[in-house]
Chains A and B, each alone.
Chain A
């Protein structure tokens, strides 16, 4: 433990780590004074409207823009060929995902459109309205081609191969196998099996994808105002594809109106905006409308998993065997790739449990639908639903209570460090303590009694559990190892200004989760100043240290540790100056609440502002050899484990109306262990928001396509999302097992809610329907599907 900072100890006047401090940037948001990309207006700004393919698969013929160009206000119309001259193609593969393949992609395609909604031409005008008017006048001769829509038949003979150069529609396949699976199943006391389906859904960020790109030909600088999670990554992408130096590209990310993974990818239409800005040498804005969002934001979670579990007579799991199939659209998405979700499924299934024999295969195929990629909790909700669905089936087959079955099979709390059958390394988890905490919170016995009592009155309520693990704080093992220029390290600089106030700049970013709030807490505590004296900067590649941004729950654990170390370094630097001024060893002093004090007595010796005045304005009065570095930068990266796994458990309590198929959510609980909690208020709201996002996929959200590959759910009236009236109150509990990788000890918390909720809801529905022997494994669990399972409606 560092001798001057003991995070979370809470023993100093400016101990903020672990406290529920409100977010400093919430004040502007509640007054409508945020700065979202669409709020930005620049001189000579022009707007882009994209013309998108109406077909799932079509040859792009002649593009005639003559009529459009006669409309006043129209500046230019760009085709794929126009932009290709100024931009190199990219291919989204990772070297460590062996055998993975994908096709080169450009801002706009040259010859063929490969999904309904792919942008094929760009109309630029002095307003978005005029650009849309002109789009209607552009004639594009499409020649519709046979499409490969269904993932089940993507590899079948007779299905069109989307990219002939690849030979087939297979993107990636992986088999992850440990132990003697076939022998374990042959020797099993019981085998349970089911086919699980996770419905294709999407992030539906309330703020659509938004970008303004501005190129100054005279200075050679490209400035991009971008609603993104990863400004430095995008800086590199724009530089590389447009042939600029990274130093000549600045990405500025102001307020972001929701992201959840949707805004961490390279979208061809957004690269097109940057290319158009470079060609026109003026600012260009693109804001996706809602239909464009549904058609061209990444989708996710389109999986079918055949799964089985073997158990012995003592109620222990002996083997799990799964076969996952996922359709990812026509291209793997750059630079994270679209194979990672399937890869996560085969890494995470069975994760909480102690068993020896494991086989998991994922098959990732191309199809003519919108591309899929990483979305909040990537693969976790699927792996958790599969695992926990099998667990409930196994408990039922053995006649065991579902909690008792979990207790017998969970990894023991004292058994770490250890490696799962899937090969995941766990530093320390707390499944048993988390489950005990959850059972106490929810009054499990009382709920079971209530369930039995109500069943006698024809009211069908169910309890469902989902134990889960969550991958956080990723090292370069996740992307960098495969060649992607995605930073796993992150940095922070901290500076004391002349009046003793503090500025900190972090490479991780804010999308509402409270990044700037926790950085402020950490820096205030580390430096030793009141929290009101700290301002945090994020989201600007020109002013913040190089970092990866915010994804995979790395902000608090990676960015937070960099901030802590930079803050400590600044404090030590200030104490060196103070020692020289006061003629005492720096170790005899401390910095508390903006005051230099005697470490032992706590007696005030010197205001920090006075120290800064001397350093900045009267440096001549200090001994010449005294360092006066009141700005310090530190970087941090996970070194000992590929990922810092967290764990938790959720429970759902709901009622199914067996006449209408409607599900009423009554209550939800989540206990999770994200290591050191920096701000309980913010962590709890991350959990709650995440749970509701998971519930959305379980009950409502579904990107439905016609057999021809047309999206049928392209509006918010057709694509259902969780709204206030249907959502339950959610009780959140915590266990804290700090990681030893860092002084701060924080792991991630943003995806835990989403990881566990669908499995808990699924198990609760099946528990409610237990008297009917009806079971559902295909999300979303709509009223129609529930009635079909009850035999009251045709299967559909």
Chain B
């Protein structure tokens, strides 16, 4: 159980090299080894979505990926996306619409929302709800989150036309 594997990867644009315990999940690696506490653990079996992070450009469940398998990979978390400003408009929309209450699901929710808007820049409300159906939020009842994402999509479309 204590086998360690040498892994070198890029996290939020920074190169990191670690000896990683073979059984350690990506979410635990990010939190315990790198101190990136923005992504959270919720259910630890891939249902709740709060550990959602980006791996090689696509979102994954941080609790379903073994960190030792990520040699050469590129990982991005809420800290990285905040730093680059990539989702600033989405974050501002979440604040303005009160789309986060306790904030525990929010980083995962934002990463999922960012992916949706990349895949489908102008989603319908039902499409937003469907896309978020793997991200559990106990506080908001989801409507404010759907509103914030829809508002961001509309603002981006206006910006691209203007």
Nearest B residue to A255 via CB reads B103
Q: Decide: A513 near B101, CB < 8 A? Known: A36-B40, A206-B136, A689-B140.
A: yes
Q: Is the CB–CB distance between A685 and B144 below 8 Å?
A: yes
Q: Decide: A689 near B95, CB < 8 A? Known: A32-B78, A36-B40.
A: no
Say which residue of A30, A206, A690 sits within 8 Å of B42 (CB atoms).
Answer: A206
- Give the total number of A-B pairs whose CB atoms are below 8 A apart: 176
Assess whether A724 is interfacial by the CB under 8 Å rule. Answer: yes
Proximity bits, A573-596, B CB within 8 Å = 1, else 0: 000000000000000000000000
Which of A85-93, A145-153, A256-264, A440-448 is the contact stretch?
A256-264
Which residues of the partner chain A approach B42 to less than 8 Å between Cβ atoms?
206-207, 290, 716
- With most chain A CB atoms within 10 A of its CB, the pick from B107, B110, B130, B135 is B107
Q: Is the CB–CB distance between B104 and A257 below 8 Å?
A: yes
Q: Is the CB–CB distance between B138 and A260 below 8 Å?
A: yes
Q: Which of B46-100 contact A (CB under 8 A)?
A: 47-48, 50, 77-79, 82, 91, 94-96, 98, 100
Assess whether A332 is interfacial by the CB under 8 Å rule. Answer: no
Q: In the assembled complex, how far is the CB of residue A668 from the closest CB belonging to chain B, in whole angstroms?
A: 9
Q: Decide: A725 near B94, CB < 8 A? Known: A31-B82, A257-B103.
A: no
Which residues of the partner chain B approach A206 to less than 8 Å between Cβ atoms?
40, 42, 48, 50, 102, 104-105, 136-138
Say which residue of A32, A260, A681, A688 sits within 8 Å of B38 (CB atoms).
Answer: A32
Say which residue of A23, A260, A289 sits within 8 Å of B95 (CB atoms).
Answer: A23
Q: How large is the interface on A (under 10, 10 to 19, 20 to 34, 35 or more residues)?
A: 35 or more
Q: Is the CB–CB distance between A681 and B98 below 8 Å?
A: yes
Nearest B residue to A725 via CB reads B133
Assess whether A34 is interfacial by the CB under 8 Å rule. Answer: yes
A38, B104: Cα distance in complex, Å: 12
Q: Is the CB–CB distance between A685 and B129 below 8 Å?
A: no
Q: Is the CB–CB distance between B96 and A721 below 8 Å?
A: no
Assess whether B1 is interfacial by the CB under 8 Å rule. Answer: yes
Q: Is the CB–CB distance between A716 and B101 below 8 Å?
A: no
Nearest A residue to B91 via CB reads A30
Assess whether B152 is interfacial by the CB under 8 Å rule. Answer: no
Q: Decide: A23 near B102, CB < 8 A? Known: A32-B38, A715-B43, A717-B45.
A: no
Which residues of the partner chain A approach B129 to less than 8 Å between Cβ atoms?
724-725, 727
Which residues of the partner chain A approach B38 to less than 8 Å between Cβ atoms?
31-33
Q: Is the CB–CB distance between B37 and A32 below 8 Å?
A: yes
- With most chain A CB atoms within 10 A of its CB, the pick from B43, B48, B105 is B43
Nearest A residue to B140 via CB reads A689
Which residues of the partner chain B approach A39 to less than 8 Å between Cβ atoms?
31, 37
Proximity bits, A675-699, B CB within 8 Å = 1, else 0: 0000001100100111111000000
A326, B73: Cα distance in complex, Å: 53
A32, B52: Cα distance in complex, Å: 12
Q: Is the CB–CB distance between A258 and B104 below 8 Å?
A: yes
Q: Is the CB–CB distance between A30 and B110 below 8 Å?
A: yes
Proximity bits, A196-224, B CB within 8 Å = 1, else 0: 00000001111100000000000000000
Q: Is the CB–CB distance between A724 and B133 below 8 Å?
A: yes
Q: In the assembled complex, how far is the CB of residue B69 from the closest CB belonging to chain A, in whole angstroms?
A: 18
Q: Which of B118-146 contact A (CB under 8 A)?
A: 125-126, 128-130, 132-146
Assess whether B115 is interfacial by the CB under 8 Å rule. Answer: no
Q: Is the CB–CB distance between A512 and B143 below 8 Å?
A: no
Nearest A residue to B104 via CB reads A257
Assess whether A514 is interfacial by the CB under 8 Å rule. Answer: yes
Q: Is the CB–CB distance between B103 and A512 below 8 Å?
A: yes
Q: Is the CB–CB distance between A715 and B45 below 8 Å?
A: yes
Assess whether A186 is interfacial by the CB under 8 Å rule. Answer: no
Nearest A residue to B145 via CB reads A724
Q: Which of A728-748 contact B (CB under 8 A)?
A: 729-730
Q: Decide: A30 near B100, CB < 8 A? Known: A23-B95, A689-B139.
A: yes
Q: Which of A708-727 contact B (CB under 8 A)?
A: 715-717, 721-727
Which residues of the partner chain A approach B125 to less than 8 Å between Cβ atoms?
729
Assess whether A156 is interfacial by the CB under 8 Å rule. Answer: no
Assess whether A133 is interfacial by the CB under 8 Å rule. Answer: yes
Assess whether A166 is interfacial by the CB under 8 Å rule. Answer: no
Q: Is the CB–CB distance between B141 and A29 below 8 Å?
A: no
Which residues of the partner chain A approach B96 to less than 8 Å between Cβ atoms?
22
A686, B21: Cα distance in complex, Å: 42
Q: Is the CB–CB distance between A32 and B79 below 8 Å?
A: yes
A727, B130: Cα distance in complex, Å: 10
Q: Is the CB–CB distance between B94 and A727 below 8 Å?
A: no
Assess whether A66 is interfacial by the CB under 8 Å rule. Answer: no
Nearest A residue to B112 via CB reads A724
Which residues of the partner chain A approach B100 to less than 8 Å between Cβ atoms?
26, 29-30, 512
Q: Decide: A730 near B141, CB < 8 A? Known: A258-B104, A512-B103.
A: yes
Nearest A residue to B28 via CB reads A129
Which residues of the partner chain B approach A513 to less than 8 Å between Cβ atoms?
101
Say which residue of B102, B128, B136 sits within 8 Å of A512 (CB atoms).
Answer: B102
A58, B10: Cα distance in complex, Å: 51
Which residues of the partner chain B approach A255 to less than 8 Å between Cβ atoms?
102-104
Which residues of the partner chain B approach A434 to less than 8 Å between Cβ atoms?
none
Q: In the assembled complex, how far is the CB of residue A412 from the closest CB belonging to chain B, in whole angstroms?
A: 32
Say which residue of A256, A691, A717, A721 sits within 8 Å of B102 (CB atoms).
Answer: A256
Which residues of the partner chain A approach B43 to less than 8 Å between Cβ atoms?
290, 715-716
A45, B133: Cα distance in complex, Å: 37
Which residues of the partner chain B approach A685 to less than 8 Å between Cβ atoms?
98, 101, 139-141, 144
Q: Decide: A30 near B138, CB < 8 A? Known: A290-B45, A724-B133.
A: no
Assess whether A511 is interfacial by the CB under 8 Å rule. Answer: yes
Q: Is the CB–CB distance between A725 and B95 below 8 Å?
A: no
Q: Is the CB–CB distance between B106 and A29 below 8 Å?
A: yes
Q: Is the CB–CB distance between B39 and A32 below 8 Å?
A: yes
A31, B101: Cα distance in complex, Å: 13
Assess whether A27 is interfacial by the CB under 8 Å rule. Answer: yes
Nearest B residue to A35 via CB reads B37
Which residues of the partner chain A approach B139 to less than 8 Å between Cβ atoms?
258, 512, 685, 689
A774, B56: Cα distance in complex, Å: 53
A430, B132: Cα distance in complex, Å: 37
- With most chain B CB atoms within 10 A of its CB, the pick from A27, A205, A715, A724 is A724
Which residues of the partner chain A approach B32 to less than 8 Å between Cβ atoms?
127
Which residues of the partner chain B approach A26 to less than 8 Å between Cβ atoms?
94-95, 98, 100, 103
Q: Is the CB–CB distance between B138 and A258 below 8 Å?
A: yes
Which residues of the partner chain B approach A34 to less than 8 Å between Cβ atoms?
103-104
Which residues of the partner chain B approach A129 to less than 8 Å between Cβ atoms?
21, 23-24
Nearest A residue to B135 via CB reads A724
A30, B144: Cα distance in complex, Å: 14
A36, B39: Cα distance in complex, Å: 11
Q: In the assembled complex, how far is the CB of residue B159 from the closest CB belonging to chain A, in whole angstroms?
A: 20
Say which residue of A30, A33, A692, A715 sits within 8 Å of B47 (CB atoms).
Answer: A715
A27, B132: Cα distance in complex, Å: 21
Say which residue of A36, A514, A693 sits within 8 Å of B138 (CB atoms).
Answer: A693
A644, B93: Cα distance in complex, Å: 35
Which residues of the partner chain A approach B130 to less than 8 Å between Cβ atoms?
724-725
Q: Is the CB–CB distance between B45 and A31 below 8 Å?
A: no
Which residues of the partner chain A approach B101 to less than 8 Å between Cβ atoms?
258, 511-514, 685, 689
Nearest A residue to B128 via CB reads A724
Which residues of the partner chain B approach A681 to less than 8 Å between Cβ atoms?
98
Say which residue of A36, A38, A723 sits within 8 Å of B133 (CB atoms).
Answer: A723
A251, B53: Cα distance in complex, Å: 32
Say which residue of A33, A133, A290, A726 sits within 8 Å of B1 (CB atoms).
Answer: A133
Which residues of the partner chain A approach B142 to less than 8 Å between Cβ atoms?
692, 722-724, 727
Nearest A residue to B90 via CB reads A30
Which residues of the partner chain A approach B103 to less than 8 Å between Cβ atoms?
26, 28-30, 34, 255, 257, 512
Could you show 8 A-B contacts with beta carbons less than 8 Å apart?
A23-B95, A30-B94, A512-B103, A685-B144, A716-B48, A723-B135, A724-B133, A725-B132
Q: Which 3 A-B pairs have the closest CB atoms?
A: A32-B38, A29-B103, A257-B104
Question: Which residues of chain B have a CB within 8 Å of any CB of chain A?
Answer: 1, 21, 23-24, 31-32, 35-45, 47-48, 50, 77-79, 82, 91, 94-96, 98, 100-107, 110, 125-126, 128-130, 132-146
Beyond A32-B36, A512-B103, 4 additional pairs, beta carbon < 8 A: A206-B48, A290-B45, A512-B139, A688-B140
